Structure 1
Amino acid sequence: MILIQVTKSGSESPTGLIRRFSKRVQESGVIRKAKSLRYNQRKLSEYKRKVAALKRLDNRQKTEKLKKLGKLKDAPRKRF
């Protein structure tokens, strides 16, 4: 984590201090980095990926079986 400190120098106005601080924050890239990591998700472990794939296969097989038995109607494809 990057800490940015700005101290008031002499007769500097508060708005000037805020302007200088925001400029330093902009230059450091803290905000850009935080925005890029905002929706970042960790990669799933290999085990969890395998479990999810097996669940997908199982669900697909169940729906195929229900379609063959006539208990599940074919859903029309959505057109966008």
Structure 2
Amino acid sequence: MQVLVRDNNVDQALRVLKKKMQREGIFREMKARRSYEKPSERRNREEAEAVRRARKAARKQAIREGLIAAPKKKPLPARPRAEAPQPATAK
């Protein structure tokens, strides 16, 4: 995996690298390899993941076909605006 560092901006390059690693599933794999997973546990986990994926796909298909209502999107919290400094009044 390769990331370019532009204008000596290492922080931005690290963010890009982390995002790439997240997409590839490297963090999940590192977490899984911390300890041994028995074959039966692995089988159960993989079956549960497959069921979860199938349910998600079926839910999305039902939403597309209009059989169920799409979940309402949460409104974004209002960000405070930086106010312009008020002109000083003469006394």
Task: Quickly name the TM-score band, shorter chain normalised.
Answer: 0.3 to 0.5
TM-score by length of 2: 0.35
TM-score by length of 1: 0.39
Higher Rg of the two aligned structures: 1
Q: Which has the higher contact order (CA 8 A, sep 6+)?
A: 1
